[in-house]
Structure 1
Amino acid sequence: MLPPINALVIMGVAGCGKSSVSQAICALNGATPIEGDAFHPAENIRKMSAGIPLTDADRSGWLGILCDELRRSIDAGQPPVLSCSALKRSYRERLRSAVPGLGFVYLELTPAVAARRVAERPGHFMPTSMIDSQFATLEPPVDEPLTLVLDASRQDIPQLAAAAHHWWRQHEPD
């Protein structure tokens, strides 16, 4: 029997498709989407918009809010799917400690594809100049528990969502 997954985090660098894949998974199984970017404080948005990478301290309060949102959704009986960069292992461990049975779907992407996709997004606060800092911060979730790695460079949103949905269903709690 596979260990149960009570909630998902769709993670990766900017431009990998976190929000779109999260929404598509929720449409497949009725889960509750949580858009991580919606919970950034104004100062974080200002810094990122100006091309200034966030520090661990900048992300700390934001991660705490995301932990609360995940728990709130689970307590309400609504399995959540969080879109969140979760670039460092320490960030993922913080989320895991707040929510037992948390699964991660890592949307792996090349820097070139990420830069192209971010440049094509209208009205988003993340400038393409931030891509290098995203990859510099990224600690890929190699050998981490309850983690699925998908190639977001070669698969489209429906394929990524279907793969993640299938994997999650294999880990459904009893």
Structure 2
Amino acid sequence: MTNAPSLTRPPILVMGVCGTGKTTLAMRIAKVAGGIYLDADDYHPAENVAHMAAGLPLNDAMRWGWLDRVTEVVKAAQHEASLVVFACSALKLSYRERLRKGLGTMHIAHLTGPRALIAQRMAARENHYMPIALLDSQLADLEPPGPEEAPLICDITHPPEVLCAQILSEWGNAPQS
């Protein structure tokens, strides 16, 4: 008995600090490519959400179990669709390495832009647990992916549809009609 070749493409990680539009863009990519969208924030334990809602940044120890859960969910979704796109801050190299350890190859789209624009977007959000007060701690923690991670750097001053096309073009994921 031979194994059929896998039709699953490497997952696409849409990463960046809070307020860069990870959710909006990851949802758009998944929809256009006929894939599954996942938001890592949905898998934070209640303690993490309460901590951030209180204006306190998470420490590394608080993130490990969450990242492991995100990995499990992405792997499970890969059995349901040929493409999984997930939004996750993944601010530090060690966090991305943790994800890669469980997922193997993944494409990284790093959303970046001016602090003022990010703060403006955060201020406009309603009913989100992440206060604008945590933006500076996220920017301080950010370890942008280097060339060894082969990221696609996405400038958030461009509209989501432009960034979506850029990402799908880069990784050969032609939109499905």
SS of residue paired to 2:133:
helix
**1:5/1:101 contact within 8 Å kept:** no
Worse-matched range after superposition: 58-67 or 107-116: 107-116
Aligned equivalents of 1:16, 1:164: Cα separation in 2: 15
Note the residue ranges of structure 1 that are not aligned, 5 or more in a row: none
Once the 2 structures are TM-superposed, how far is the Cα of residue 113 of structure 1 from its aligned partner? 1.4
The answer to whether the aligner puts 1:18 opposite 2:25 as a matched pair is: no
What CA deviation, in whole Å up to 9, does each residue of 1:122-172 have, x standing for no partner? 1111111010000011001121323111111x201111111111112169x
SS of residue paired to 2:58:
coil
Partner of 2:133: 129
Partner of 1:40: 44
Match for residue 119 of structure 1 among 113, 116, 123: 123
SS of residue paired to 2:108:
strand
Partner of 1:161: 164
TM-score between both structures, scaled by the size of structure 1 = 0.91
The answer to whether the aligner puts 1:72 opposite 2:41 as a matched pair is: no
Aligned equivalents of 2:115, 2:58: Cα separation in 1: 18
Match for residue 144 of structure 1 among 141, 144, 148: 148
The answer to whether the aligner puts 1:95 opposite 2:99 as a matched pair is: yes
RMSD between aligned alpha carbons?
1.6
Aligned equivalents of 1:61, 1:19: Cα separation in 2: 21
**1:14/1:134 contact within 8 Å kept:** yes
Q: How many residues end up aligned between the 2 structures?
A: 167
Aligned equivalents of 1:158, 1:89: Cα separation in 2: 27
Match for residue 84 of structure 1 among 85, 88, 104: 88
Partner of 1:29: 33
Aligned residue identity for 1:162: A
The answer to whether the aligner puts 1:51 opposite 2:55 as a matched pair is: yes
**2:35/2:81 contact within 8 Å kept:** no
Aligned residue identity for 2:166: A
Note the residue ranges of structure 2 that are not aligned, 5 or more in a row: 1-7
The percentage of aligned residue pairs carrying the same residue is: 37
